[in-house]
Amino acid sequence: MKRDIISVMDMKDDFEDILASAVKMKKEPKKGSKQDVLKGKVLGMVFEKPSLRTRISFEVGMTQLGGKAVYIGPDEVSIGKRESVSDVANVLSRYVNAIMYRAFSNQTMRELAKHASVPVINGLDDLEHPCQCAADLLTVMEKKGKLKGLQLVYVGDGNNVCNSLLLGCALTGMNMRAATPKDFKPNADILAKAQEIAKGKGGRIETLSNPYQAVEGADVIYTDTWVSMGQEAEKQAREKLFLPYQVNDKLAEKANKDYIFLHCLPAHRGLEVSAEVIDGPHSVVFDEAENRMHAQKAILVAVLGK
């Protein structure tokens, strides 16, 4: 049976194995790798939205594993407009061994996965960003030497990135607080699921609205854009409303002295994060960006390897 990675929950049984495999792959030579685990395999990458990290890290990752990636941009397919989602899924399944899909909606993501006979990997939709979460926790593991028991504090919009982090933290026994304005909380079903998992793992998952209270004792501070792709019409209103949630030195003072700062990027200095924090000594955002590739190579092998 094919294995889709639509949610972090699709890695619930082997999330830590995937992270361990990513650590191993990172140690192996980046260029001229002798690995050919995915030799002859092709990944189709369907994008409805722009991307730097997701596109390049998947493409280079596939190349390093001995396979290939084909980029399919928004103008080429016009998924659901020029052609139905199910026809795109059926046709692509005849050409490629797996599909990486960046979608506007989780519903389209699930529809594509339902009709595709090859595995579908979520490269971001409006509900989750599971590959980002794997890279994030890989980065925390590298910097802190462990995951279990650490306190991650997410500040800002309870969006796709936040939703996936709730599940990732729960699965790995981390504690997570999400500080968001009351109307921008993470998805309620995902929050409930994460809290249920955390109970069994000895972790604590909470949401609150005061960022200063939230950041107290943080090992990791995480933020993301206040205006996700597709929300451009709300830009002005959001930027005003979220201002108290900016991650800056004053807020970060409440964190543990050795806290690390994560951001999935692209970042907006002066909005969700100040330049002093993202360009400062606690920031590990470029290691995090690099880790997208290592984490995704591990995911690709889990999905496509023999």
Q: Return residues touching ligand NVA (CB under 6 A).
A: 124, 159-161, 224-225, 228-229, 264
In this structure, are residues 301 and 21 in contact, taking their beta carbons and an 8 Å threshold?
yes
**Closest listed residue to residue 242, CA positions, set 191, 184, 186, 188:** 184
- Helix-strand-coil split of the chain, %, nearest 5: 45, 15, 35
- Give how far Cα 1 sits from Cα of 39, 301, 302, Å: 21, 15, 13
Q: Which residues contact 24 (CB under 8 A, 6 or more apart)?
A: none
In whole angstroms, give the CA distance from residue 199 to residue 204.
7
Footprint of ligand CP on residues 180-239 (CB under 6 A)? Answer: none
- Cβ distance to ligand NVA smaller for residue 57 or 228: 228
Q: Where are the beta strands (DSSP E) in 10-168?
A: 42-47, 68-72, 98-102, 120-122, 151-155
Active site residue 264: yes
Q: How far is the CB of 1 from ligand NVA (least distance, A)?
A: 30
Q: Which does 64 bind (CB under 5 to 8 A by kind): ligand NVA, ligand CP, none?
A: none
Q: Does 124 bind ligand CP (CB under 6 A)?
A: yes
Q: Which residues contact 81 (CB under 8 A, 6 or more apart)?
A: none
Of 23, 60, 265, 302, which one interacts with ligand CP (CB under 6 A)? 265
- In the set 64, 126, 132, 133, the catalytic residue is 132
What's the distance, CA 115 to chain centroid?
24
Q: Does 294 bind ligand CP (CB under 6 A)?
A: no
Q: Does 273 bind ligand CP (CB under 6 A)?
A: no
- Cβ distance to ligand CP smaller for residue 124 or 284: 124
- Cβ distance to ligand NVA smaller for residue 169 or 304: 169
- In the set 263, 292, 294, 296, the catalytic residue is 292
Q: Does 246 bind ligand CP (CB under 6 A)?
A: no
**Closest listed residue to residue 223, CA positions, set 169, 174, 271:** 271
Q: Does 138 bind ligand CP (CB under 6 A)?
A: no
* Residues counted in the chain: 306
Of 41, 53, 193, 238, which one interacts with ligand CP (CB under 6 A)? 53
Stretch that binds ligand CP, among 48-56, 107-115, 201-209, 268-276 (CB under 6 A): 48-56
Q: Does 25 bind ligand CP (CB under 6 A)?
A: no
- Cβ distance to ligand CP smaller for residue 175 or 272: 272
Stretch that binds ligand CP, among 35-43, 52-60, 169-177, 232-240 (CB under 6 A): 52-60
Q: Which does 177 bind (CB under 5 to 8 A by kind): ligand NVA, ligand CP, none?
A: none
Q: How far is the CB of 306 from ligand CP (least distance, A)?
A: 28
**Closest listed residue to residue 195, CA positions, set 178, 220, 214:** 178
**Closest listed residue to residue 138, CA positions, set 32, 297, 280, 306:** 297
Cα-Cα end-to-end distance for the chain: 13
Active site residue 132: yes
Residues at the interface with ligand CP (CB under 6 A): 51-54, 124, 132, 264-265
